[in-house]
Every structure is written in structure tokens, then in C-alpha cells.
């Protein structure tokens, strides 16, 4: 061989008086990269063309909901001579909102397949094409007086949103210059799943730097991790994985059933029911969204410095209390003058409490409860639980609200309390612990001692 690959160059490290040889990382200048015009263009355009429309499509049905419902009712009466009852109109509106979630579930599942088969760039471009097609459907639905066109558009933008969540992060991380975005691959994934011992040692050397001790490589890689990839049936049949799997599914599903989606899907109508005028409800909705964004910025800071159990305990309990208080105040709003303001305050305090525990923790708790081999299946099942519960809320909440009135928020309060109990008795502290250690703690299922 004329030239030697720079990543395979051996480096000598002295530790405790002994000298070891291990792979050294030496990146050629061509790999260090700069922020070129093309790179900036690709980053901005891919984000503005996919992530921004995805976020827009999630909440766009809220404010114009009254006018769109009236339009749907008028179209059916004019075209089919069908006069919908209030309950039937609620069901139709729920279907229009929830079809977005069906598309999101399909797109999220298909994202990895499409990105691997056709490439990241083509996948991102396909997302943009789907958004454009959905936008055309939205434009034509009123011209053609077609509710079906509106439903098709919602499904297409949902499909694009699901693809975006799977493909865009991969695309951006892989086109970013190594100088600014040099993420190593997981050594344990390389060693336990891929069986690539050499590359695992290279990546571990990068992570450990000057403290890397090659003689400790095997002990660290074999620290209780499974060596074979696990399929769905393998994970579901393994009784040692039952408790963490239940935690992941209830956390992700419970996050959607905690009321946050009902509030943001129907916040304007909720604020109207609390006694606000149409304009005041719009401003209150803007305030709720701004608060949600502001508090979410605290998430990374809290996750890095505060344990998971106390965050989840406090967050889930406060969410349960504020939702219960909101339901009671809304029910007796005509009897006490300040209950209208109290309802608004409960919504705002609920959003604040949600965003430092119930909001962020379910997304990553699976990666801290499961070892490398069963982790993809567990995260996939948790994601499936999330999408199904999100769909349930979108479909059922308007009907439930008409039947139960203010007490339609009680199931959300109960869900948050169930998450509180699950955390109290069955969630071990995972921050700063190796997943293999956590797996041993929860291996006895509901008989596990987590404290």
C-alpha cells in the first residue's frame, strides 16, 4: 500500500509508566471544512422548506377553526344537501385535524427507509415537494368547494412532517463541516450491534482523548451490553424489559394524553369558553405559545443539571393540579367573578409545568433505560404510543368537550397523576448512570426496587 489511511495511524500513549499503541485521529485539511455559501444555502433552505412548514401545519388549524368549520358545513349543505348536527360537525373537524397525525406516523416510520434508499438530499427534497403539493391542495379546496381536497392536503403535509423529523437532522449533521459539527459514532453501537471492533476503538479513542487506556477497551465495551440486535418479538417476550417498556410507552403516550395537544389544538375555543372575546382569545393564544417557547429554552439547562425523577415528579403533579383547577374554575365560572382570570392563569401555569418535565423527558428516557440492542425497538414502540395517543386526542376531544363540558379535562389530569405514580414507584434515577446499571435495577419488573 502506497499511502496509509490517516485514521488508522497508531499513536503511542503512556499511562502508569507503560506505553500503549492505539489508533490516532488525524483529520486531513480537506475534512475540516468551512462555512461556505453553498453550505449556508443548503442549511437555511432545507430548514425553511421543511421544519418551518411542519411547525406551521401543526397549529395553523387553531385560529381559523370557526370559519373553516362553517365552510365545511356550508359546502356539505350546498353540494350534498346534508345538514350536519353539531356532533357530526365536531367529528368531521376532528378527522380533518387528526389526518395530519396519521400522515405524520406514516412519514416518521418511512423516513429511515426513504433516506437510506434514495439519499438524505432526495428525502429532504421529497419533503418539500409534499409540502408544496399539500399547499396546492389547500389553495384549490376552496376554489373547488372540496372538503376532500382539504383532507388530502392535511395528510400530505402530515406525511412531509413525519419525513422531516426523520431525515432533516441526519441531512444537516452530515453536511455540516467537521470543524464545527464533529460528532463521533457510538462506540458501543459499533461494537455491540455492528460488530466493528476496530472502528469502535477508533471512536472511543476520540472520546477519551489523552485519558484513553487501550487495555480497558474490552472491559468498557462489555459492561453488561447485549451483543445481538433485538427484534420486536424478542423485546416483547423478555420479562426483564417489561417495566422499562411500560414506562417508555406510558411516558410518550401520556405526554400526548396530558392535555397539551388539546390546549394547543383548541386553545382559542377554550379561551372563549373561559369568557374572553374573540380578539382577547387570539391574544391569549399568542401568549400561551410564547410562554411555551420561552420555557422550552430552559430544557437543555435543566436536563444537564437536575435529576430526572424530581423533575418528572414535580412536573406531572403540578400539571395534574392545574388541569383539575382549570376544570373546576371553568365549571363554576359564572359563580365567581375572578374564575375567568383563574382559568387563564391555570393554562399558563400548566404550560410552564409541562415544559420542564412531562414535555422533554419522555423523548429521551428510553435511551437511558435500555441498553444498545433493545433500544431501537423500545423507542419505536414508544413513538407509536405517542402518535396513537396524539391521534386519539385530536379525534375525541371536541366530542368529549361537548359531552362533559369543563370536565373533559379531568382525563388529562388523571393521566398526569398516573405518570406521577409511575415515576414515584418505578422510575429509577437515570441521570449519570450507565444503561446497563439501570437495566439491572428494573429487571425484576414491578417487583424492582428503584430507590
Percentages of the chain per state (helix, strand, coil), in multiples of 5: 75, 5, 20
Q: How many CA atoms lie within 13 A of 104 on its CB side?
A: 22
Can you give the pLDDT at residue 362? Answer: 85
Q: Which of 15-19, 209-213, 253-257 has the lowest mean pLDDT?
A: 15-19
Can you give the pLDDT at residue 136? Answer: 95
SS3 (DSSP) at 225: coil
Average pLDDT, the chain: 76
Q: Identify the band that residue 11 occupies on the pLDDT scale cut at 50, 70 and 90.
A: very low
For the chain, list the domains and their CATH numbers.
Answer: 37-183 (1.20.1250.20), 232-447 (1.20.1250.20)
Tens-place pLDDT, residues 404-447: 888 888 999 999 999 999 999 989 888 878 777 888 888 888 88
Between the two ends of the chain, the Cα-to-Cα distance in Å is: 57
Q: Which of 86-100, 102-116, 160-174 has the lowest mean pLDDT?
A: 160-174
Q: Identify the band that residue 92 occupies on the pLDDT scale cut at 50, 70 and 90.
A: confident
Residues 6+ apart with CB under 8 A from 376: 229
CA distance 48 to 217: 43
| DSSP character at residue 227 | S
Tens-place pLDDT, residues 167-224: 775 566 555 544 444 444 445 555 665 666 676 666 556 545 555 555 555 555 555 4
Element (H, E) at 301: helix 299-305
Tens-place pLDDT, residues 45-77: 777 888 778 877 877 777 787 788 889 999 998
Amino acid at each position: 500500500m502506497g499511502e496509509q489511511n490517516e485514521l488508522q495511524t497508531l499513536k503511542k500513549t503512556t499511562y502508569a509508566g507503560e506505553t500503549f499503541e492505539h489508533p490516532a485521529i488525524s483529520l486531513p485539511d480537506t475534512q475540516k471544512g468551512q462555512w461556505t455559501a453553498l453550505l449556508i444555502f443548503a442549511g437555511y433552505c432545507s430548514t425553511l422548506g421543511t421544519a418551518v412548514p411542519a411547525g406551521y401545519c401543526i397549529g395553523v388549524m387553531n385560529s381559523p377553526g370557526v370559519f373553516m368549520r362553517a365552510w365545511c358545513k356550508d359546502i356539505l349543505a350546498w353540494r350534498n344537501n346534508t345538514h350536519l348536527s353539531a356532533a357530526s360537525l365536531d367529528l368531521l373537524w376532528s378527522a380533518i385535524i387528526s389526518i395530519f397525525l396519521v400522515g405524520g406516523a406514516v412519514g416518521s416510520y418511512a423516513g429511515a427507509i426513504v433516506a437510506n434508499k434514495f439519499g438524505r438530499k432526495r428525502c429532504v427534497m421529497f419533503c418539500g415537494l409534499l409540502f408544496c403539493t399539500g399547499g396546492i391542495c389547500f389553495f384549490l379546496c376552496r376554489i373547488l368547494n372540496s372538503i376532500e381536497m382539504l383532507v388530502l392536503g392535511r395528510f400530505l403535509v402530515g406525511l412531509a412532517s413525519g419525513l422531516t423529523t426523520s431525515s432533516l437532522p441526519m441531512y444537516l449533521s452530515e453536511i455540516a463541516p467537521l470543524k464545527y459539527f464533529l460528532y463521533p459514532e457510538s462506540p458501543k453501537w459499533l461494537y455491540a450491534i455492528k460488530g466493528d471492533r476496530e472502528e469502535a476503538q477508533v471512536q472511543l479513542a476520540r472520546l477519551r482523548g489523552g485519558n484513553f487506556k487501550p487495555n480497558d477497551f474490552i472491559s468498557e465495551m462489555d459492561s453488561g451490553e447485549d451483543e445481538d440486535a433485538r427484534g420486536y418479538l424478542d423485546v416483547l417476550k423478555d420479562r426483564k424489559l417489561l417495566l422499562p417498556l411500560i414506562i417508555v410507552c406510558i411516558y410518550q403516550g401520556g405526554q400526548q394524553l396530558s392535555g397539551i395537544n388539546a390546549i394547543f389544538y383548541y386553545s382559542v375555543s377554550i379561551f372563549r369558553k373561559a369568557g374572553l372575546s374573540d380578539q382577547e382569545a387570539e391574544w391569549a393564544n399568542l401568549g400561551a405559545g410564547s410562554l411555551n417557547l420561552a420555557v422550552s429554552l430552559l430544557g437543555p439547562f435543566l436536563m444537564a443539571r437536575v435529576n430526572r425523577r424530581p423533575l418528572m415528579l414535580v412536573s406531572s403533579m403540578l400539571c395534574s393540579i392545574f388541569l383539575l383547577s382549570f376544570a373546576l374554575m371553568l365549571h363554576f365560572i359564572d359563580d365567581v367573578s375572578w374564575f375567568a382570570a383563574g382559568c387563564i392563569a391555570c393554562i399558563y401555569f400548566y404550560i410552564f409545568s409541562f415544559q420542564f418535565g412531562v414535555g422533554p423527558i419522555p423523548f429521551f428516557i428510553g435511551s437511558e433505560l435500555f441498553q444498545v440492542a433493545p433500544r431501537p425497538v423500545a423507542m419505536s414502540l414508544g413513538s407509536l404510543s405517542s402518535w396513537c395517543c396524539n391521534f386519539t386526542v385530536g379525534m375525541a376531544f371536541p366530542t368529549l368537550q361537548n359531552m362533559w363540558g369543563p370536565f373533559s379535562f379531568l382525563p388529562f389530569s388523571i393521566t398526569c397523576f398516573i405518570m406521577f405514580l409511575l415515576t414515584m414507584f418505578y422510575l429509577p434515577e437515570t441521570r449519570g448512570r450507565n444503561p446497563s446499571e439501570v437495566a439491572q435495577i428494573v429487571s425484576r419488573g414491578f417487583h424492582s426496587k428503584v430507590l
